[in-house]
Structure 1
Amino acid sequence: MIPALLLREDGLVKTQRFNNSKYVGDPINAIRIFNEKEVDEIVVIDIDATRLKRPPNYALIEEFAAECFMPLGYGGGINTVEQAKNLFSLGVEKIILQSAAFDNPKFITELASRFGSQSIVISIDVKRDWLGRIRLWSSSARRKISADWLAVMKELASAGAGEILLNSVDRDGMQNGYDLDVIKSAASVLDVPLVALGGAGKMEHLLEAVQAGASAVAAGSLFVLQGPHRAVLISYPGYSALESLFRSSDVS
């Protein structure tokens, strides 16, 4: 179970359907709290870096890595091998790519050959059109991409990615559950681990995503916002609660 933290202007924000960003606090403070709660892994994504053609903020990321007691994944503004090398040297364990991977799948292969597939994650965002069809979405360009999302995802995984982070734009921040059909479709064609993101609002949603085929689950609002008024309160379920949840199902 992976908290997914979104950065905007070096502050922690939460979005709804990739819009309406709400400031929710200092990312360093959030990481410290998640440390205390012994989370499995954490992901930090700068949601403006690629769109604004801004490189990673190495000084800030170095602070994240110094504070993290758990594996850290970072995404945003990465488009060169040198940037990846710098991030790994700071203590980042996984880098998350989208635009650079879409533009040049060979970039994934180059990174994987140098740093290992296990350290390369591809972010796939999807959004349904007015007919309910699943379409690939570019976060940086803020538009749908005409290419078949399953074919693109499979191609990028085959290029050397060790993991896919799959997010549903329509479910982002809504807390009404993951898009299980999207997860099932993706899981049916992938040979690498699939991490589901977008829509978790309660513990049962995490279980549903795993039952649909996700190898792991990530969430934002579930871990940083509480109650109908979306008050900021960082939380993370204890091991006993998770064990009880998954023990009650056929998922091991």
Structure 2
Amino acid sequence: MNNSKLAKRIIPCLDIQNGLVSKGVQFENVKEIGNPIEMAMYYEAQGADELVLYDINASVEMRSNFLGLVTQVASKIRIPFTVGGGIRTVDDVYNALLSGADKVSINSAAVLTPEVLSASAKRFGNQCVVASIDIKKVNDEYMVFTHGGRNQTSYKAIEWAKRCEALGAGELVINAINQDGVKNGYDRVLLKHISNAVNIPVIASGGAGNQADFIDLFREDAADAALAASVFHFGTITIPMLKKFLFENGVAVRTII
């Protein structure tokens, strides 16, 4: 899918816990950071191409609170945003879209009940359906995990990525658990393998620590977009600074502020 002539997207990720943006390392030791509505507006003003909002509580009792937040964010920003976390059924997808999301990310449920991908794609269109895949290296093999990286499945990463595309996903988010929050760079080997195996956009997630990590990712054409959290939330990198740096190094990006 990857085409170096297409503009690469920069996507901040807001993990929501108890109504606040939070961040952990390798899916653990999560700390609260700030107000998601204010941060969404800030990132839009900074020139983010899209946003991702994940409900990391993902429990039934929190769902209505999270969807209320989605509605508020949708009323405040114009850039596209994806929501995910605890999406289990086609009705969950419908409710997220109805609340104002542009796309819905499906993770564990896609492995447990793959029909949720195909049924959602059929009902709402492939462009609304994102397959989010948590991947960890086990004995030199990239394996798919579910439930926040706790449960290993029998799926190999590339095999499952191809199946998600066949089921109707319009985009893949590849979460490299080993890299999450550790700021050692994206897993370009994994991402390149998956990008070469599918014909839909691939979003890299996990590992961004500095601007060079984005350059390395895009120069190798290992992904169509880069998702990051810590480096943006803590001000290590600003989006205008990053886009200017990418542009100056020959990477096509969207509007630079």
Name the CA distance, whole Å, in 2 between partners of 1:203 and 1:140. Answer: 27
Conserved 8 A contact 1:180-1:212: no
User: What is the 5 A alignment of 1:100-139?
Assistant: 100-129=109-138, 131-139=139-147
Partner of 2:42: 33
Conserved 8 A contact 2:149-2:177: no
Determine if the alignment matches structure 1 residue 190 to structure 2 residue 198.
Answer: yes
Q: 2:238 aligned to 212, 231, 235, which one?
A: 235
Conserved 8 A contact 1:53-1:77: no
Residue 78 (structure 1) shift:
1.6
Q: What amino acid is aligned across from residue 232 of structure 2 in structure 1?
A: F
Q: In the TM superposition, what whole-angstrom CA distance separates every residue of 1:159-205 from its partner, at most 9, and x where no partner exists? A: 00000000111110111101111111111211111100100111121
| Alignment RMSD (CA, Å) | 2.0
Q: 2:70 aligned to 58, 61, 79, which one?
A: 61
Q: What amino acid is aligned across from residue 161 of structure 2 in structure 1?
A: M
Q: How many residues align?
A: 240
For structure 1, the 5+ residue unaligned runs are: 228-233
TM-score by length of 2: 0.86
Name the CA distance, whole Å, in 2 between partners of 1:235 and 1:55. Answer: 31
Name the CA distance, whole Å, in 2 between partners of 1:245 and 1:48. Answer: 39
Structure 1 residues 140 and 178, CA gap change in structure 2 (3 angstroms): closer
Q: In the TM superposition, what whole-angstrom CA distance separates every residue of 1:45-77 from its partner, at most 9, and x where no partner exists? A: 112205x78535221111111122210100012
User: What is the 5 A alignment of 1:3-14?
Assistant: 3-14=12-23
Partner of 1:245: 249
TM-score by length of 1: 0.88
Question: What's the % identity of the aligned pairs?
Answer: 30
Residue 82 (structure 1) shift:
2.3
Give secondary structure in 1 for the equivalent of 2:183. Answer: coil
Q: Which moved more, 1:184-193 or 1:116-125?
A: 184-193
Partner of 1:165: 173
For structure 2, the 5+ residue unaligned runs are: 1-9, 253-257
Partner of 1:230: none
Name the CA distance, whole Å, in 2 between partners of 1:6 and 1:108. Answer: 22
Partner of 1:71: 80
Name the CA distance, whole Å, in 2 between partners of 1:65 and 1:110. Answer: 25
Structure 1 residues 207 and 148, CA gap change in structure 2 (3 angstroms): same
Q: In the TM superposition, what whole-angstrom CA distance separates every residue of 1:214-243 from its partner, at most 9, and x where no partner exists? A: 11111111211245xxxxxx8323443331
Q: 2:224 aligned to 208, 215, 231, which one?
A: 215
Conserved 8 A contact 2:134-2:149: no
Give secondary structure in 2 for the equivalent of 1:178. Answer: coil
Conserved 8 A contact 1:17-1:170: yes
Partner of 1:155: 163
Q: In the TM superposition, what whole-angstrom CA distance separates every residue of 1:25-63 from its partner, at most 9, and x where no partner exists? A: 11111112112112110001112205x785352211111
